[in-house]
Amino acid sequence: MPLVDSPSFEDPGTKLDLEDNSPPEGDSQQAMTLRVIAALLAVAVVALLFLNISAGAERYGTITGVVQDLEGNPLQAEVFVIGVGSDNSVFPDANGAFTLQNVVVGDRELIVGYNGIGQSVRVNVATNATADVGTISVDTALEDG
Amino acid sequence: MMDKRLKTLSSGQSLVEYAFLLALVGLVAILSLQLYGVAVWDMLARVTVVFGDAPEEDSDSVLYSEDFNDGLGDWVSVNWGRRSSENWATEGGRLVADRFAGIFLPGEEFDDFRYSVDDVDLTATDDRWQGASLFFRADNGDGEDISGYSFRIQRPSENDPGRIYISEWANGYQVSPWLEEVEAPPDFDWEGSYDIEVVANGSRLEGYIDGELVITAEDDTYNSGSVGLYTHSGSSLTAEGLEVSSLGAN
């Protein structure tokens, strides 16, 4: 018998397991799938974070109009918006025309204040757009005692 | 042995990945809800209430009170628009106010509450505009312009049929039209003294005189603020004290 065919060359006790130790092919595919899902979710998180930030950012528009008394005379009344972004107020010009800028978009309550009374006008303001409320006639006889 | 170690490591790594995936799913859910305006913490609070004991509602607890036995205390007199008088004082433990004057409680923030002024006594100084108003959910601004709500009592007089109304204020202007207006109760004894009270509960605003509901209004412009009091141009006022209390389970 040739030496190479001797049974001693095949020792079950020290035989190395030459089988492939890598995970089964199915496990590799599962791990890859999980990683793809994780990557997609991570992209979704980033996108949602961006959208949340964009939604929270304030957008502004402008309101214009004319203020007069019941006789049609221009009136120097204080014009402002209640609520968010309403720190600014304006007074109409000599013709009663006013422009109120930097108004946070949305449904807003415009106030025309004169002699202690504020006349309320509802107006919807859109982003980078001008909302014209037209002519506001103020009853100057109203008073607050 | 090495195979077993390799398999254990492989299992542990999967657990980490699964945990990471769950965390990402949770983040996506939370951010999506926030984008649609859902308050996630409010939702969690409601869920815990469903599964846990409902929190006991407080009975009416006093949030603030002033008996004016030691002066005006924390209250400050103010000029609001055309209200130029600053004549507020205390006398014998009672609040005393001249006509057309206002006081305000700075540094407080109440959202839902009951605000009462006890034992109010109005003295006419003119034949109209005899009354007083309670400011609530108010912001005194720079001390000159007030924003918030007022519960206004205008008692009947020679030139005034008498009205009660709840109105909104913005930057020192009383907003017209008023939120709600009713006639003053015709059979009420306006010459005596009475308790005036306002209740703010969410968007519902209620006015009471001597414990009787006389007016309600709905508005959500202002959600919180402090309190104030002012006299109208046709009367002066004295009062025993003021109190702000929470709304209990009653």
pLDDT in tens, A100-120: 999 999 999 999 999 889 999
Positions in chain A short of pLDDT 50 = none
A39 touches chain B (CB under 8 A): no
The rounded percent of chain B whose pLDDT value lies above 70 is 80
Distance CA A112, CA A135 (A): 11
- Provide the pLDDT for residue A30: 80
pLDDT at B151 (0 to 100)? 97
B174 to chain A, minimum CA–CA distance in Å? Answer: 5
In this prediction, residue B44 carries a pLDDT of 67
Report pLDDT for B147.
Answer: 92
Identify the residue with better confidence: B74 or B1.
Answer: B74
Q: What is the pLDDT of residue B38?
A: 63
Residues 6+ apart with CB under 8 A from B241: B65, B66, B67, B68, B95, B117, B118, B119
Q: Strands B94-97, B88-91: parallel, antiparallel or unpaired by DSSP?
A: antiparallel
pLDDT mean over B123-147: 87
Q: Tell me, what's the pLDDT at B37? A: 62
- Smallest CA–CA separation between B56 and chain A, in Å? 34
Smallest Cα distance from B32 to chain A, Å? 7
Q: How far is CA A113 from CA A79, B171, B175, B206, in A?
A: 6, 9, 8, 26
Confidence band for B6, pLDDT divided at 50, 70 and 90: very low
Among the ranges given (A82-86, A119-123, B89-93, B207-211), the one the predictor scored with the smallest mean pLDDT: A82-86
Judge whether B110 and B227 are in contact, CB under 8 Å.
yes
pLDDT of amino acid B145: 83
Cβ of residue B8 closer than 8 Å to a chain A Cβ: no
Residue B196: its pLDDT value, please? 95
> Would you state the pLDDT for residue B150?
96
Would an 8 Å CB–CB cutoff place A111 in contact with chain B? yes
Distance to chain B for A2, nearest Cα, Å: 35
The single-letter code of the amino acid at A124 is N
Amino acid making up residue A130? T
Q: Which residues does chain A have within 8 Å of residue B129's beta carbon, measured at their own beta carbons?
A: 145
Question: Is the minimum CB–CB distance between B40 and chain A shorter than 8 Å?
Answer: no
Provide mean pLDDT across the span B2-31: 69
Q: Confirm or reject contact between A52 and chain B (CB < 8 A).
A: yes
Residue of A nearest to B128 (CA): A145
Confidence of residue B42 (pLDDT cuts 50, 70, 90): low
Beta-bridge partner residues of B199: B114, B206
Selecting from A45, A89, A115 the residue whose C-beta is nearest the C-beta of B28 gives: A45
Farthest CA pair distance, chain B: 105
DSSP structure class, residue B201: E
**3-state SS string over B12-70?**
HHHHHHHHHHHHHHHHHHHHHHHHCCCCHHHHHHHHHHHHCCCCCCCCCCEEEEECCCC
CB contact under 8 A, B24 and A51: no
In this prediction, residue A51 carries a pLDDT of: 77
